[in-house]
Amino acid sequence: MGLKAGIVGLPNVGKSTLFNAITNSSVEAANYPFATINPNVGTVLVPDERVDNLSKLFNPRKTIYTTFEFCDIAGLVKGASKGEGLGNQFLSHIRDTDAIIEVVRCFEDSEIIHVENSVDPIRDIEIINLELVMADLDTCSNRLGKIENKARISKDKEALAEVNLLIKFKDKLQKGEALRGISLNDDEQKIVKNFNFLTLKPIIYVANVSDAELADIQNCENYKKVLDYATKENSQCIPICCQVEAELATYSKEEKKDFLDSLGVEQSGLDLLVTSAYKLLNLSTFFTVGADEVRARTFKNGMLAPDCAGIIHTDFKKGFIKAEVYTYQDIMTYKTEQALKEAGKVRIEGKEYVAKDGDIFFFRFNV
């Protein structure tokens, strides 16, 4: 499954530095607005110690982690929805993502320019979020202008349902509110699927703090402001020192672990961000294992076994017969598949089986 999160924020808040850390790449991170114009895209591994443990157990020729794509989108500014600062181009890049990572500057540094000339994280969040709201309002208004009268005259049920939903959206957007708080049924989900409304996308706020503030995060006033804002809208907030994480990304796996151990933490801020973004989209992982490869595969929670088989190959779904299933916990306890079978821990599941995080599948099919 191709999954992408867009990293957004005002210019010079640490977006490109964060992107460098995530991908261990070297995109430009210059100290002036619009240093990033074309979106940089990087694919990262979703950290999962289960993959490491399964690989040690099966000793495969290949070990493949599930991945997540991050897109570094150029800085938005006030008026972006009206085209300011190449805004329309940047907003179109956000439309192509599944989730939004909004980087908010929480640190003071007189040597790093702030486009608004002062550090105020809530003001910055509201600038970005209002631009996203205004872009969605334009989308709503344009679509209603094309179909509203026609739907009223024709009495077409599907067109009327779309009009009614868009009117509900427009009312909320006109109040300056994001759409992600609206609960949608299956039919409404189908209606909005092709619109790519920006404020329907799930969001994580990254509070970019200094290294000193990170060490005493509970007393960082700017972080607490962002956390409070995120909590009120039922979103996530993760404190990260982007500069430290960029340096960490250059360390070896062992050096990184030693450094994190010295801080008394299990995960770096970036690992936490990647796993949080993965969960934000209601995703889980199943595994396929064997002598050839141990592989993690992403699926949407609620998917049935044949749909998971189709993630491997469309023929697997078309010709699905059954799935042999056991859990990650059980294989780590019994160590071999033979021992699992003798203990009755391998199940045969059919087309109605709902996949669970940590399932290990062997699919039987016939095309």
How far apart, in whole angstroms, are the C-alpha atoms of residue 191 and residue 163?
A: 10
Check whether 33 has a pLDDT greater than 80: no
pLDDT at 145: 92
SS3 (DSSP) at 102: strand
- Sequential DSSP letters for 23-74: HT------SSTTS--SPEEEEEE---HHHHHHHHHH--SEEE--EEEEEEPP
pLDDT band at 86 (very low <50, low <70, confident <90, very high): very low
Mean pLDDT across the stretch 330-337? Answer: 97
Decide if 18 contacts 103 (C-beta within 8 A).
Answer: yes
pLDDT at 215: 84
Mean pLDDT across the stretch 336-341? Answer: 96
pLDDT at 185: 92
Decide if 106 contacts 11 (C-beta within 8 A).
Answer: no
In sequence order, the 6+-apart residues with CB closer than 8 A to the CB of 81 are 87, 88, 91, 131, 132, 134, 135, 138
pLDDT at 367: 78
pLDDT at 82: 58
Mean pLDDT across the stretch 29-56? Answer: 70
Tokens 């999954």, residue located = 3
pLDDT at 2: 65
Residue of 289 and 112 predicted with greater confidence: 289
pLDDT at 39: 54
How far apart, in whole angstroms, are the C-alpha atoms of residue 119 and residue 13?
A: 10
Check whether 113 has a pLDDT greater than 90: no
Report CA 273 to chain centroid distance, whole Å. 9
How far apart, in whole angstroms, are the C-alpha atoms of residue 162 and residue 130?
A: 24
pLDDT digits (tens, 9 = 90+) for 260-269: 887 667 788 8
pLDDT digits (tens, 9 = 90+) for 181-233: 899 999 999 999 888 899 999 999 999 999 889 888 999 999 999 999 999 99
How far apart, in whole angstroms, are the C-alpha atoms of residue 22 and residue 273?
A: 9
pLDDT at 95: 83
